[in-house]
């Protein structure tokens, strides 16, 4: 027969931490008691009692001067307050994942939210969580949650905070969370299931699905062990649940070709070893040595070690990591990254493996302080040196403006970029780069002095040269580009079309008459342009921006006829009259004799550039595309209308015979 052991069998890191803290308390020589069983395993409780750790049921029973150990399932707020009021020394062995739930529900209480807990109502962990709220609702699953929601329609409108018992079954939680999302209008949902528990259950199911029998080891009071047995029974025909090796009856496993074994989170390694020894006597073939497994669980850690663990919890201040040892590992957020702009949840996820560096080991408390940042820094120096040798481009965040340049953080390594290599114009402030991500080339590395120099400009120059080469290779007349306005002059605008600057002459910016390019575009604008002409030898490109498919004269003639009135803009004053824009790209002449109903010395006496005036179109020269306008004719029309006179003949007769002069002035203009 062949036996296959689940990788996560036995103590979870929260239970391991609690037991270790109790052992340390016993070894201190001071009197100490557990407030209730520290974990759900009678063998472990008996072992701790042999070490001198007593047990009481209420805070009032704690002897004077004794330290009190809070169990891994945690306690309610009232218990903590009672212990504090007595001035007792408290050793809080609450699982960090459970402590996080206490923080969540306490904050929800402060915000006036209704706390809903998915879990077993009589479980110590659930009772402790509920004890941090005044009016919690506990539901075992989606059906109980539905019953509470339908009990009072207003429940659906409440501000809810939904959490789960750490050992809840994932499918039950997901169904409950989905129902809450669907039916509640203002809910905050926190997935607080311990991912170590989820992995333990998943591995047990995988084993059960492919083995002929399963052995589940754990205390009868253990909720997570009961769930392991239930999950295995759904997939495997033979499941044996035992607390100790003495309960194992080998005959129940006869003729089973493969046997899987798993253990609850409260099962110590020595009990698993007991089971192993008994099964060895029955000639079972073990896939993984229990001795190896136990060695992993008690291995020591030293400062400077590189270790790999699994993220089990994330709080605003630290990340909890299961290392597979007797220690609880955590990473302070300050040791996760140097980038202040990123969120912790974007860098690490619960259930993911993470490689870290051991900063400090506290064997007394069973805690290891880890750093992702320091390990990354060591690796980053190797990457920096490699980038220098291979002339590769690297990316970093500008963290500060320094004397003569800026400092870029590249995976924890400070890189100095001189002002001349920032790529900024001389007059630009280097502070513009602070808190921005940049790409640069490493030009100098001195690891001994921890000095690294880089150049942003080198990367920009190479990239611009590559883009420019591509533009010149594919450029052709009428080709369209999306470009960026780089600078303005009195005669036009320079536009970057991808590594190459082309010029849009002021006359090509708009069909309207403009005096300066700034009337149409600004530096930094994104514009659509097309190629009018180009000279590869002189590296010059002439661009256009106004839409050539739009014929202004066609627009004008489609909208206006002789005799129509129009509201126009005066664009230029001459000695003989004023030019006015009728539609963009088409101007008409208002002769000086047609500006007013009385004689004037010069157009500027009545009109100013930019002024909007009403005119009458008196003539259209379709062959030469010229238009004559008259303010005077429009005024005279209005006077005739008021006096009862009118008729088109009267308007023509009142032209003073100066229409021929208008035509000659067009030619002069």
| DSSP-assigned states of every residue in 308-359 | EEEEEEE-SSEEEEE-SSSSEEEEEGGGT-S-TTS-HHHH--TT-EEEEEEE
Instruction: Give the Cα separation of 566 and 653 in Å (integer).
Output: 21
pLDDT of residue 663: 38
Q: How many residues does the chain have?
A: 669
Estimate the crossing angle of helix 142-151 against helix 170-183, to 10 degrees: 30
Is-contact 368 323, C-beta < 8 A? Answer: yes
pLDDT tops 50 at residue 650: no
DSSP one-letter string for 543-563: EE-S-TTS-HHHHHHHH--TT
Least confident segment among 11-20, 149-158, 324-333, 403-412: 324-333
At 664, the pLDDT band (50, 70, 90 cuts) reads very low
Nearby residues of 519 by Cβ (< 8 Å), 6 or more positions away: 510
Pairing of strands 480-489, 492-496: antiparallel
What integer pLDDT is reported at residue 301 of this predicted model?
78
What percentage of the chain exceeds 70 in pLDDT? Answer: 91
The answer to whether 610 and 570 have CB atoms below 8 angstroms apart is yes
**67 strand-pairing partners:** 32
Q: How confident is residue 281, by pLDDT bands cut at 50, 70 and 90?
A: low
Give the least confident one: 8-12, 456-460, 496-500.
8-12
Mean pLDDT of the chain: 84
Residue 526, pLDDT above cutoff 60: yes
Q: What is the pLDDT of residue 658?
A: 37
SS3 139: strand
Mean pLDDT of 144-173: 89
Q: How far apart are CA 202 and CA 310, in angstroms?
A: 15
Q: How many CB atoms lie within 10 A of CB 511?
A: 19
Question: Across residues 190-214, what is the average pLDDT?
Answer: 87
Which residues contact residue 338 at a Cβ distance below 8 angstroms, ignoring those fewer than 6 apart?
373, 399, 409, 412
Predicted confidence (pLDDT) per residue in 56-115, tens digit: 999 999 998 899 999 999 999 999 999 999 999 999 989 888 988 999 999 999 999 999
* Closest-CA residue to 273 (of 249, 250, 253, 297): 297
Q: How many beta carbons lie within 10 A of that of residue 195, not counting itself?
A: 20
492: left (phi over 0), alpha (psi -120 to 50) or beta: left
Say yes or no to pLDDT of 363 above 70: no
> Which range in 114-118, 290-294, 536-540 is most confidently predicted, on average pLDDT?
114-118
Q: Indicate the range of 212-216, 382-386, 506-510 predicted with least confidence.
A: 506-510
- Whether 125 is catalytic: yes
Comparing 644 with 413, the larger pLDDT belongs to 413
pLDDT over 70 at 280, yes or no? no
Cα–Cα distance, 35 to 41 (Å, whole number): 15
Q: Are 411 and 450 in contact (CB under 8 A)?
A: no
The candidate with the shortest Cα–Cα distance to 411, out of 429, 386, 433, 443, is: 386
CA-wise closest residue to 507 among 545, 551, 554, 535: 545
Other Cβ atoms less than 10 A from the Cβ of 608: the count is: 10
pLDDT tens-digit readout, 485-495: 988 998 999 99
* Res 259 pLDDT > 60: yes
Among the listed residues 125, 243, 322, 581, the single catalytic one is 125
Q: Sheet harboring 186-189: ordered strands across?
A: 137-139, 114-118, 159-164, 186-189
One DSSP character per residue, 262-311 reads: EE-TT--HHHHHHHHHHHHHTTPEESS-HHHHHHHHH----TT-EEEEEE
Query: Which are the contacts of 420, defined by CB distance < 8 A and separation ≥ 6?
Result: 457
Give Cα 144 to chain centroid, integer Å.
Answer: 35
Which range has highest mean pLDDT (103-112, 186-195, 292-301)?
103-112
């Amino acid at each position: 027969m062949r036996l296959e052991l689940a990788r996560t069998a036995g103590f979870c890191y929260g239970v391991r931490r609690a037991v270790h803290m109790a052992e340390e308390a016993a070894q201190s020589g001071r009197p100490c008691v557990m407030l209730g069983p520290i974990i759900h395993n009678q063998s472990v409780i008996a072992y701790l009692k042999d070490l001198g750790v007593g047990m009481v049921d209420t805070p009032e029973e704690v002897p004077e001067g004794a330290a009190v150990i809070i169990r891994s399932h945690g306690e309610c707020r009232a218990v903590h307050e009672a212990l504090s009021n007595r001035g007792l020394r408290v050793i809080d062995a609450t699982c960090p994942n459970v402590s996080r739930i206490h923080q969540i529900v306490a904050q929800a209480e402060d915000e006036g939210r209704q706390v809903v807990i998915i879990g077993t109502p009589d479980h110590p962990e659930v009772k402790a969580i509920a004890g941090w709220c005044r009016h919690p609702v506990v539901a075992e699953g989606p059906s109980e949650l539905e019953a509470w929601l339908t009990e009072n329609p207003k429940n659906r409108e409440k501000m809810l905070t939904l959490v789960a018992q750490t050992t809840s079954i994932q499918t039950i939680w997901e169904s409950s969370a989905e129902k809450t999302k669907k039916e509640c209008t203002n809910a905050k949902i926190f997935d607080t299931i311990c991912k170590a528990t989820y992995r333990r259950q998943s591995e047990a199911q995988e084993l059960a699905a492919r083995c002929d029998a399963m052995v589940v080891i754990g205390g009868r009071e253990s909720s997570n062990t009961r769930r392991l047995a239930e999950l295995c029974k759904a997939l495997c025909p033979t499941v044996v649940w035992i607390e100790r090796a003495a309960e194992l009856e080998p005959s129940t496993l006869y003729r089973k070709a493969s046997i899987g074994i798993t253990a609850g989170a409260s099962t110590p390694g020595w009990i698993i070893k007991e089971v192993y020894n008994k099964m060895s006597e029955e000639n079972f073939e073990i896939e993984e040595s229990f001795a190896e497994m136990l060695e992993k669980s008690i291995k020591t850690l030293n400062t400077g070690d590189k270790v790999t663990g699994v993220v089990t919890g994330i709080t605003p201040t630290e990340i909890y990591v299961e290392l597979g040892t007797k220690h609880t590992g955590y990473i302070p957020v300050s040791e996760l990254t140097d980038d202040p702009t990123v969120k912790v949840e974007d860098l690490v996820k619960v259930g993911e493996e993470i490689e870290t560096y051991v900063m400090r080991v506290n064997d007394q408390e069973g805690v290891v302080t880890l750093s992702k940042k320091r390990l990354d820094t060591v690796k980053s120096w190797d990457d920096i040196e490699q980038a220098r040798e291979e002339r590769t481009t690297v990316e970093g965040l500008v963290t500060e403006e320094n004397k003569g340049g800026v400092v870029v953080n590249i995976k924890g390594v400070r890189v100095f970029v001189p002002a001349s290599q920032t790529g900024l114009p001389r007059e630009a402030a280097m502070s513009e780069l602070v808190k921005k991500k940049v790409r640069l080339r490493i030009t100098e590395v001195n690891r001994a002095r921890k000095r690294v120099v880089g150049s942003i400009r080198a990367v920009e120059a190479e990239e611009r040269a590559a883009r420019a080469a591509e533009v010149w290779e594919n450029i052709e007349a009428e080709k369209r580009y999306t470009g960026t306005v780089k600078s303005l002059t009195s005669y036009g605008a320079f536009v970057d079309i991808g590594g190459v600057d082309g010029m849009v002459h002021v006359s090509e910016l708009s069909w309207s008459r403009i005096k300066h390019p700034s009337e149409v575009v600004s530096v930094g604008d994104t514009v659509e342009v097309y190629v009018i002409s180009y000279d590869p030898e002189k590296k010059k490109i002439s661009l256009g921006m106004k839409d050539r498919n739009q014929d202004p004269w066609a627009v004008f003639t489609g909208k206006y006829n002789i005799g129509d009135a129009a509201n126009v803009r005066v664009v230029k004053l001459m000695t003989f009259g004023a030019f006015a824009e009728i539609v963009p790209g088409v101007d008409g002449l208002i002769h000086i004799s047609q500006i007013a109903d009385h004689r004037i010395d010069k157009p500027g006496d009545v009109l100013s550039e930019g002024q909007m005036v009403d005119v009458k179109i008196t003539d259209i020269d379709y062959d030469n595309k010229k238009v004559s306008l008259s303010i005077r004719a429009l005024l005279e029309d209005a006077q005739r209308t008021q006096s009862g006179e009118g008729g088109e003949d009267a308007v023509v007769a009142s032209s003073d015979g100066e229409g021929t002069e208008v035509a000659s002035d067009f030619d002069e203009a």
